[in-house]
Amino acid sequence: MSKLNCIIITPNKKIRNVECDYVGATGVEGDFGILPQHAPFITELAPGILFLRNLGRADDPIGITSGFLHVFEDKVTVVTDNAYEKTDLTKTQDEYKKLYEGKKLNMDKIDKSDPKYNNMKTEVDKLSVLFKLTSYK
């Protein structure tokens, strides 16, 4: 059975270069999965969790704030501004939830045309991803 070669890179470093059986992600149009021999594909990623799965082993979740995923000939390339691993977590799930809810509430009070809005959205997206990542053991 063939495998996928998955490469995840940020502007600062290569996060992963591994073989896996499945890649799952959240695109701007919804969740999707990639198996070996998938048709060529490219999509924009939304903030969420990227799953690398190997049969017989636990999922390897990686938090992604945004980016692009490209599939071609069993090679999956993910280019993202930020990627977070479970080892990056410094707070509990409850702490991330409170931080996320507080920032989201403040962001919802600001008009989208305000110059501060984009920075707040970036922070809210990051906290959302970190909160989701805490739920994976």
The two tokens of residue 3 are: 């495998």
Say if residue 104's pLDDT is above 80: yes
pLDDT band at 42 (very low <50, low <70, confident <90, very high): very high
| Count of structural domains, the chain | 2
The verdict on 49 and 31 lying in the same domain is: yes
Which band of pLDDT confidence, cut at 50, 70 and 90, is reported for residue 34? very high
The model's pLDDT over 14-32, given as tens digits with 9 standing for 90+, comes to 999 999 999 999 999 999 9
111 and 71 both lie in a single domain: no
Q: Which two tokens stand for residue 1?
A: 């059975």
Q: Do 109 and 128 share a domain, yes or no? A: yes
Q: What pLDDT, on a 0 to 100 scale, did the predictor assign at position 1?
A: 65
Structure confidence at residue 137 as a pLDDT band (50, 70, 90): low
Q: Give all strands (DSSP E) within 46-135, no chain letters.
A: 48-53, 60-64, 67-72, 75-80, 83-84
> Is 102 found in the same domain as 45?
no
pTM for the structure as a whole = 0.88
Instruction: List the domain range (segments joined by +) for residue 45.
Output: 4-84
CATH of residue 57: 2.60.15.10
